[in-house]
Amino acid sequence: MLNQSFFSENRSKLRNLLSNDSLMVLTANALLQKKSDEAYEFIQDSNFWYLTGLDLPQAWLVMDSQNEWLVLADHSNYQDIFEGQYNFAQISQISGINHILNYRQGLELLKDLGHKFKKIGLIKTNQSYDQQSGFWLNPASLNLQEIIMSLKLPLTQFNLNELLSGLRQIKSDEEVLAIQKAIDITEEAFLRIDHNLQNYKNENQLQADINDVFCRQASRHAFNPIVASGRNAVLPHYTVNNQPIKPNDLIVVDIGAEYNHYAADLSRTFSAVPIKGLKKAVYESVLEIHDQAIDILKPGLSYHDLEQRVFNLIFEALIRLKILTKRDKSLVKNYYPHAVSHFLGLDVHDVGNYNQTLKPGMIITIEPGFYLEKNGFGVRIEDDVLITANDCRLLSHYPYNLG
């Protein structure tokens, strides 16, 4: 599955969306320095992988309406000796691309094609730093744009982002299978956690079990795992994962294995002891809202309506639980600061347009959560759901019973 024909088909789907006077260039991610002469683990750009299946850093994919070329970054002798040489046969075998060029030949090709076409499609970006997330972006995309500019080609640039999002947001049967496998591995980790739940003295011991399950399945974390006990779960994106677990703590575990580049994204809230009082009431409310959200999923429901309806359910639950004492919806964000759903695919927060209705083939998460700072605990329950022709299919099945 997800072999050469999948990648070739993705390229031809993208081509079919473009006019004959258009050229396209996409870049792989660049390797980034970690320390001295060591790089961070290489994670490929999802668009580049979707079109080529290749995990090579700094390569380019060049396409016109008829032809396709792969341009490889030059390897140093050092790389050849320590990391191995390019395997051209294997690169063609995986991607289905037969024209493989070195960097100099790639530049010549662009100069040549630049005078035969009117437009050039790129994944355009105009920033090197993501203000909201607070991190630097992979420099490959901006670097490619600068190289294209320096060639002074008489071409109008346009952005391929939306076209690729449109394709990637609808999953093929093989993509659904890959995500299903990632979910199955993630649920195996939940099973291990339940089995060892009485023994964990620290969040890192719990994470060690997740790492072990994923690693034995030749999988890795699709995103930084969240193992948040007690008060730590008040932060939806807590990733410290090294604090002591107290006997009565609720533990929010939000994790996802990656299989064949596709992500799972599941959350369960665990407790080593039976829960009661407010914790129990909150847990039951979150589960009920989770079930109600899944009940309304079907093609034609707008993303906005989904978010709005769940927001209202959460508001009413907060009133019922007397966590909110006045009917002021602006206060909900203090207890529920995120959305209930996002697209899932190659990226854990996958590409897709949120200003539209749900369509068959989309895979989304459903993840209501309550974060009670004053009471020092949080609850989140998250599942992954495929939108089908008539309604939806829950892809994750790990039980919700707790304590």
Pick between residue 209 and residue 265 the one whose CB is nearest to Mn ion: 265
DSSP 3-state of 370:
strand
Shortest Å, Cβ 389 to Mn ion: 25
Pick between residue 144 and residue 185 the one whose CB is nearest to Mn ion: 185
Residues 315-354, mask of contacts with Mn ion (x by CB under 5 A)? ----------------------------------------
CA–CA dist 392, 385 (Å, integer): 7
Q: Tell me the window of 20-28, 215-223, 264-272, 368-376 that interacts with Mn ion (CB under 5 A).
A: 264-272
380 to 35, 48, 188, 203, 252: CA distances (angstroms): 36, 33, 19, 17, 6
CA–CA dist 376, 229 (Å, integer): 10
Numbers of helices and strands, H then E, in the chain: 11, 21
CA–CA dist 288, 368 (Å, integer): 10
312 φ/ψ angles, rounded to the nearest 5 degrees = -65, -40
Q: Which residues of 194-204 are buried (b: 16+ CB within 10 A; e: fewer)?
A: eeebeebeebb
Element (H, E) at 99: strand 99-101
Shortest Å, Cβ 383 to Mn ion: 10
Can residue 365 be called a binding residue for Mn ion (CB under 5 A)? yes
Nearest-CB residue for Mn ion:
265
CB neighbours of 325 closer than 8 A, spacing ≥ 6?
Answer: none
Name which of residues 91 to 150 contact Mn ion (CB under 5 A): none
Shortest Å, Cβ 48 to Mn ion: 24
Shortest Å, Cβ 264 to Mn ion: 10
Shortest Å, Cβ 378 to Mn ion: 14
39 φ/ψ angles, rounded to the nearest 5 degrees = -100, 160
Shortest Å, Cβ 343 to Mn ion: 10
Tokens of 54: 């290749």
Pick between residue 28 and residue 346 the one whose CB is nearest to Mn ion: 346
Pick between residue 25 and residue 234 the one whose CB is nearest to Mn ion: 234
Q: Tell me the window of 31-39, 311-319, 362-370, 393-401 that interacts with Mn ion (CB under 5 A).
A: 362-370
348 φ/ψ angles, rounded to the nearest 5 degrees = -65, -40
Shortest Å, Cβ 225 to Mn ion: 12
Q: Tell me the window of 11-19, 96-104, 199-207, 259-267 that interacts with Mn ion (CB under 5 A).
A: 259-267
Q: Tell me the window of 181-189, 271-279, 328-336, 357-365 that interacts with Mn ion (CB under 5 A).
A: 357-365
Q: Tell me the window of 4-12, 193-201, 209-217, 361-369 that interacts with Mn ion (CB under 5 A).
A: 361-369
Query: Which chain residues interact with Mn ion by CB under 5 A?
Result: 265, 365
